[in-house]
Amino acid sequence: MGWFWADETLAQQPSTQSPSGLPASHPPVAAGTPPPGCPMHQKTADKLAPPPPPACPVKHDAAPLSSCPVPHANSIPSATPAQDAAQPSLLSKLNPLNYMFQSISQEAAPNQAIALPTTRDESSIPKGTGDGNWEYPSPQQMYNALLRKGYTDTDITAVESMVSVHNFLNEGAWAEIVDWERRFGKGLSRGWQVCRRGEANAPLELRRVEAREGEPPQPSLIRFQGRPKEMTPKAAMLQVLGWLYPAKFGTEPPFDRHDWYVSRNINGEEKQVRYIIDYYSGEPEPTGEPVFYLDVRPAFTPTGAVERGMRWWGDVWWRAKGGDVREQNKLAKHQASL
């Protein structure tokens, strides 16, 4: 889930690892004479050092080149930078903005029986670079990416539906992030003004605060990373609770996890905020349509922990003290007095 394809191209970096064999700095060896750099023939420079062994461990009656422990005859010459550049590493093939391959072909795959659209939809998610919005992959790119990842049994007739669901989920995730940023994008004190009367009243409080103080700058997505094999601590805790109390917390593990890095403007300074997204599948609708749930929250950094605590504890405290009931009673008394 969550594949966007950026156009940036990484420069290939030459490998810094040299092949096995004799290093380039090793001195040339004269025939029949042990090389001066060979550790088996260096003379003791300190008189206090222990006396040399009675015989050199290296046999000198063999072939001249055998006198040095380094096999010169089988040594591999050092690779040139051009040779290193011809074999780029896997990391150099990946886009640092999404840790996906730099480009996925729009060409039909070998033995592909059905043609897929190659048009790409533009998302509503601004790029962190400021040059427009992120673009979603086309169905053909999605199919090629799945084949490249080893999913050779993908039903090609379902690819277009997969792309639609993929785009829908990412738009929903971004809407959740924008809501977080509207609350806390201008600081924790503003966020508390929105959260102090519980989640049910948060939209109304947010409109009041924005009418008084204005909206925060629009956030943008800098980069993201899919981590489907790494379960978040919260997801793991929910699995344990589901095992203990299946009637209340029972749920399947998330089928995907993303980390999104968002640019937040605070008093003219850009701050990078990491958001964690867990993707859950729910019971399908009676019509057969799939149902998904997204758990979107800031990463558990000091600031992110406070933001999450404000939303959770603000809602719990408001309901525990009967805030809604008291306000309803107060409103009823006011209407009765008119």
- Domain membership of residue 56 (yes or no) is no
Q: What is the pLDDT of residues 49-91, one digit of tens each?
A: 555 555 555 555 544 444 444 444 444 444 444 444 454 443 3
Could you tell me which residue, 169 or 59, shows the higher pLDDT?
A: 169
30-39, 237-246, 314-323, 327-336: segment of lowest average pLDDT: 30-39
- Domain membership of residue 30 (yes or no) is no
Q: Give pairs for 277-286: CB < 8 Å, separation 24+.
A: 277/2, 277/173, 278/232, 278/234, 278/235, 278/254, 279/1, 279/169, 279/254, 279/255, 280/251, 280/252, 280/254, 280/255, 281/252, 281/255
Rounded to 5°, the CA angle 11-14-19 comes to 160
Whole domain around residue 201: which residue ranges?
122-336
CA distance 88 to 286: 51
- Domain membership of residue 284 (yes or no) is yes
Confidence of residue 279 (pLDDT cuts 50, 70, 90): very high
Number of domains the chain contains: 1
Could you tell me which residue, 127 or 24, shows the higher pLDDT?
A: 127
- Domain membership of residue 136 (yes or no) is yes
Q: How many CB atoms lie within 10 A of CB 55?
A: 8
- Domain membership of residue 24 (yes or no) is no
- Domain membership of residue 239 (yes or no) is yes
Confidence of residue 176 (pLDDT cuts 50, 70, 90): very high
Amino acid 27: pLDDT? 52
- Domain membership of residue 305 (yes or no) is yes
Q: Are 263 and 272 in contact (CB under 8 A)?
A: yes
Q: Which two tokens stand for residue 308?
A: 């999450």
The closest of 94, 102, 110 to 144, measured between CA atoms, is 110
Average pLDDT on 255-271 reads 90
Q: What is the pLDDT of residues 133-165, one digit of tens each?
A: 999 999 999 999 889 888 888 899 999 999 999
Q: What is the pLDDT of residues 179-219, one digit of tens each?
A: 999 999 989 999 999 999 999 999 999 999 999 988 888 89
Amino acid 57: pLDDT? 53
- Domain membership of residue 155 (yes or no) is yes
